[in-house]
Amino acid sequence: MPYESSSASDPMWPGLATIEITGFSFSNPTGQLLKNTHLHNKGGIMFHQFVNKLCSKKERDLPSPVFSAISYPKTGTTWFQFELAKYVQIISRNEQLVFFDDIDRVRQACRTAPNFVGGFTHAPLTWNSQAANDLSAESVVDPFRELKVILMVRHPLDTLVSHYMQMKHQVGSFKGDLVDFINDDVFGLEKLIRFYSIWAENKHGLRGFYLRRYEDARKDPGRILKEILAFLGESPHQAAVDEAVSFASFRNMRDMESRGAELVYPSSNLPVFGPGDRSNPDAFHVRKGEVGGYRTHLSGGQAEKFEALIARNLPVMFGYS
């Protein structure tokens, strides 16, 4: 199984409860609940009421965060989020999906399933001026030391092609071409390799570590979901796994986005699928979900150049070297 486990005592507050709310992230280091707490969006706005609610005695009586699913953008985050949300909804008999966007809602919904208390994040990645050299073990790994970590990964060039389409056609914040994007200090390949290299070098000493490869999940989503459930301490229910996999299938998610399904994150009321132009296929949040699709967007020479760079610099544990 592609995960490692290590034992650690459970403090009242695990190392970091991290969640992503379509551009928002929350971090809560052990023993420094308010001093080093950051809850921000791209504008750096602080949400003190949320922090105070989380730190109240009433909230401490609810299950504490157990895991964090961490990823570079466009590595299957929403897909896995849908799978896990549907599975939790089934076994906990919740009326609504819990998208892991608000730690308060997650803790309330998972009273009877505490192993699922956690969240999704791209932390500490930002897209204004942060470059590869700005990333370190202290910022990337250390905040999660007290949690089980599910690290999501996808072929770097498929990841960057998808991220480029999002930034160019959905967000509109990048004006160059794809090669410019891959070579860019803030968005590009060097930063992605640095992010995952730090995880490879520092994954030991966590409560547990599971590597979720996009390609493996595309090939056998049920098997990968069951492995993750076991990693979280659950005995998988096959019928619930099957329903979760079907619900989170590429076709179903694409259909929901095409129909304009009004799925929103309850904590922010922001759309799950983002604000893309439905007349532009490249602006969809659920775009193509391809494995190896980068070869249709790069010339043979360009692809070979970047593949060689990946082979030289990305740790072999990820399976792309």
Superfamily of domain 3-318: P-loop containing nucleotide triphosphate hydrolases (3.40.50.300)
Check residue 12 and give its pLDDT: 27
Check residue 257 and give its pLDDT: 64
255-307 residue pLDDT tens: 766 655 566 666 566 666 555 555 545 444 454 557 788 999 899 899 999 99
158-189 residue pLDDT tens: 999 999 988 887 777 788 999 999 999 999 99
| pLDDT for 2 beyond 60 | no
- Sequence-separated (6 or more) residues with CB below 8 Å from residue 222: 241, 242, 245
267-279 residue pLDDT tens: 566 666 555 555 5
Residues 118-144 have a mean pLDDT of 97
What's the CA gap between 321 and 311, in Å, rounded? 4
